Structure 1
Amino acid sequence: MSHRQKHERGFEAQEENKGQFREEVSVAKEVGTPEEVPPAEVCQETCSSSVPIQATPPRKASEGSGDQAEGGQSTSKAYLYSKYLIKSKLRKKVTDLVKFLSFKYTKNEPVTEEEILKNIIKECKAYYSVIFKHACECMEVVFGIEVKEVDAFNHSYMLLKVLDLTYDGRLSGDEGIPKTGLLVLILGMIFMEGNRAPEKKIWEVLNVVGIFPDQHDFVCGNPRKLITEDLVSEKYLEYQLVPGSDPPCYEFLWGPRAHAETSKMKVLQFFSKVAGSSPTSFTALYKEALKDEEERAQALLASMAIATAPVNSGSGGKRSSFAHPE
């Protein structure tokens, strides 16, 4: 069995979650460039109450006369429409909250539940947990930003880059959207493709979630430049010609900075969390990630041993090994 075949199960699991990622990206595209929005302007819409959702389900036609059946159909349409309105308005709230959280990230400021309720949720307080959950998923999956609780009593949160990566795709002084999520997605695809992913495969997956090489995108600006130039120059990716390919084609590998700042296990844990499963469910990938962890630990021990080893002076320790000027 080839190395690529051994990773098929893991990649199939990733394929199953493209729908979720596509949904999160569509929300992200509605956010726009994060900017401070006066609380009064953040959301003017009033969410419907939960009453329509609790409306009595339509009666079957067989339960009454023709008039009752007709009334049942009318009730059914009203019921479905009320559910649609609720979903639409809650989605708008999720979009507003993602924009608010993105702004907080660019300012490196914490955010509290009280702020969110006052500035964003407002009349939809009954749906706070649902809105907050989906907004956090969008921040993590699309932007690579984790909403981490730092004060359980006051429900205060910090916005942190996932996987301890030091780069978020923004230029110095740029207050745009972080691009860590895209980088993590690409690193994960490379890992799942056997540690080297054909450029064609990368774009196939990105196309599914609405990112195209030559189409300016809200999340990543110029996608082709970001992936083949910026992330390569930042040493997170390697972009190289496949030897002997005709016509010429390229592939991506992890760059030295990716190896230094994260690991296969961390990337697998992130993807497993997004997929709602355990890292061990990706059997071949988990074994490879474990082996990588062992090799990293051995390399660290070896470097520590070298650093703490006594220096051999060469003359019984009586002369300094540094040359003195004549």
Structure 2
Amino acid sequence: MPRRQNKHKTHAKRREKQNETRKSEATGEAAAAAQESPPAPQRGPVAHSCSSSQEELQGAASATATPAGGSSSKSDSPTTIQMQEWENVFRTLLRSDSSDRNISMMTLLLEQYMLYKFKMKKPILKADLLQIIDPTYEDRFDEILKKASEHISVVFAVEVKEADSDVPSYNLISKLKLPNNGRVRPGRGLPKTGLVMAILGMIFLKGNRASEEDIWKLLNAMGVYDGRRHLVYGEPRKLITKDLVRLQYLEYQQVPGSDPACYEFLWGPKAHAETSKMKVLVFMAKLNDTVPSAFAPQYEEALRDEQERARSQRAAGAAFQSPRPAFSSTCSYHPKK
């Protein structure tokens, strides 16, 4: 009998040690995530009137500002800027209510941990996420995960979805069909989808064509500068004038009759196929904590675009019944049912 009890105690100690080791690893990776992944940008307010192009620019830019490159000084190192932003986040949290502060801290950690796992191309296991949560708040895990997922969705334009696997885990899925699930190029890295959606939004706000100057003003406000490699987006000029043009998400062309030559950006064929003006407007509205109708002229245009798309889908459906079928396709946390 004593031998059996000793055996049970040995197993219990082994399980406890394994849990402690797992929690230590998850905490260590969360700390690595905080150091290696730039804090996701916080949403900012936007003026509700869209009559002024300056207001449109400031609203779209402030909403998508990326702390990792928040300083315009090229002498600042990414690490220094990043640590300053984390300190700002923590100061804000320390001024909040104790319960809210704890929830916000855990939401922030979960968010950074998931982005870190995505960047490293590693699975996002639910068991690991639970190790980051304080046991006192474990019953609020779904709430915390939802908040982290919504912010990731708004900022990076990727959705957090449960993976179809035997082990409970999650995937980050790009809202556009960018290769490598939003990374643009093979290898590790964070999704570029949020930047693409922000540029598409600026183009839409500018009357469906935006000057190169306007795009760079937007990117500068996001902490992305010409000739300066960004922690998330890499070499920005190559990304927007070559990579995204090659992938047909953007068109980059000379303004007709301009002398000296000026250039502008338009939506590319892939952007028209994989998203819509209304989806981009909804994305921009979420960034700015407002509603799509706040962008009145663009909202009306987006509604007309939706109606035209609906008519096209009905026509495609009718053609599907004919001898010559025509196929059509449509292009944050969604739990499995």
How many residues were matched structurally? 252
What does residue 185 of structure 2 align with?
Answer: 171
Whole-angstrom CA distance in 1 between matches of 2:295 and 2:252: 26
What percentage of residue pairs aligned between the two structures are identical?
40
**Measured at CA, do residues 117 and 204 of structure 1 come closer, stay the same or move farther in structure 2, by a change above 3 Å?**
same
1:105-254 map, 5 Å: 105=118, 107=121, 109-112=123-126, 114-118=127-131, 120-122=132-134, 135-136=148-149, 139-148=152-161, 157-162=170-175, 164-167=176-179, 168-172=182-186, 174-254=187-267
Of 58, 62, 86, which aligns to 1:15?
A: 58
Q: Alpha-carbon deviation of 1:278?
A: 1.7
Provide the secondary structure at the position in 2 that maps to 1:8.
Answer: coil
Using structure 1 for the length normalisation, give the TM-score: 0.63
Aligned mate of 1:266, from 279, 301, 316: 279
1:102 is the counterpart of 2:145: no
Q: CA RMSD in A?
A: 4.2
3-state secondary structure, aligned to 1:140: helix
* Structure-2 separation of matches of 1:216 and 1:22: 16
- How far apart, in 2, do the equivalents of 1:259 and 1:11 lie? 26
Change (3 A) 1:260 1:80: closer
**Counterpart of 2:273 in structure 1: which amino acid?**
A
What residue identity is the alignment partner of 1:177? L
* Post-superposition offset of 1:239: 0.3
User: Residue deviations 1:101-143, cap 9 Å, x none?
Assistant: 124435474543x53241x345895998997677545533443
Whole-angstrom distance in 1 between the partners of 2:136 and 2:220: 34
| Partner deviation per Cα, 1:279-323 (whole Å, 9 max, x = no partner) | 122211111011111112222333444443347xxxxxxxxxxxx
Show the counterpart of 2:15. Answer: none
1:39-78 mapped onto 2 (5 Å cutoff): none
Could you tell me how far apart the structure 1 residues matched to 2:92 and 2:205 are?
Answer: 41
Task: Please tell me whether the aligned partners of residues 22 and 208 of structure 1 are also in contact (alpha carbons under 8 angstroms).
Answer: yes
Moved more, 127-136 or 267-276: 127-136
Taking the aligned partners of 1:108 and 1:80, their CA distance within structure 2 comes to 31
Q: Is 1:25–1:138's contact at 8 Å kept on the other side of the alignment?
A: no
- Residue 277 of structure 1 aligns with an amino acid whose one-letter code is T
The 1:219–1:296 alpha-carbon spacing in structure 2 relative to 1, beyond 3 Å, is: same
Shift, 1:203, TM fit: 0.3
With CA pairs under 8 Å and 6+ residues apart, which has the higher RCO, 1 or 2? 2
Q: After superposition, what is the alpha-carbon deviation per residue over 1:142-178, rounded to whole angstroms, capped at 9, x for unaligned?
A: 4322234689xx996542223x434413323x12111
- The alpha-carbon distance between structure 1 residues 7 and 277, as it changes in their structure 2 partners (threshold 3 A), is closer
- 2:208 and 2:267 in contact (8 A); partners too: yes
Change (3 A) 1:14 1:140: farther
SS of the residue aligned with 2:248? coil
Q: Residue 23 and residue 203 in structure 1: after superposition, are their counterparts in 2 closer, same or farther (change >3 A)?
A: closer
Instruction: Give CA-to-partner distance per residue, 1:198-235, whole Å, 9 cap, x none.
Output: 01000001101210121001111100000000000000
1:124 and 1:231 map into 2 onto residues whose CA distance is 45
Larger Rg: 1
Cα deviation for residue 82 of structure 1 reads 6.3
TM-score (norm 2): 0.61
Segments of structure 1 that go 5 or more residues without pairing to the other structure are 1-5, 31-47, 49-78, 312-326
Q: Distance in 2 between matches of 1:150 and 1:9?
A: 44
Structure 2: 5+ residue stretches without partners: 1-48, 71-77, 80-89, 325-337
For 2:113 and 2:267, the matched residues in 1 are separated by: 32
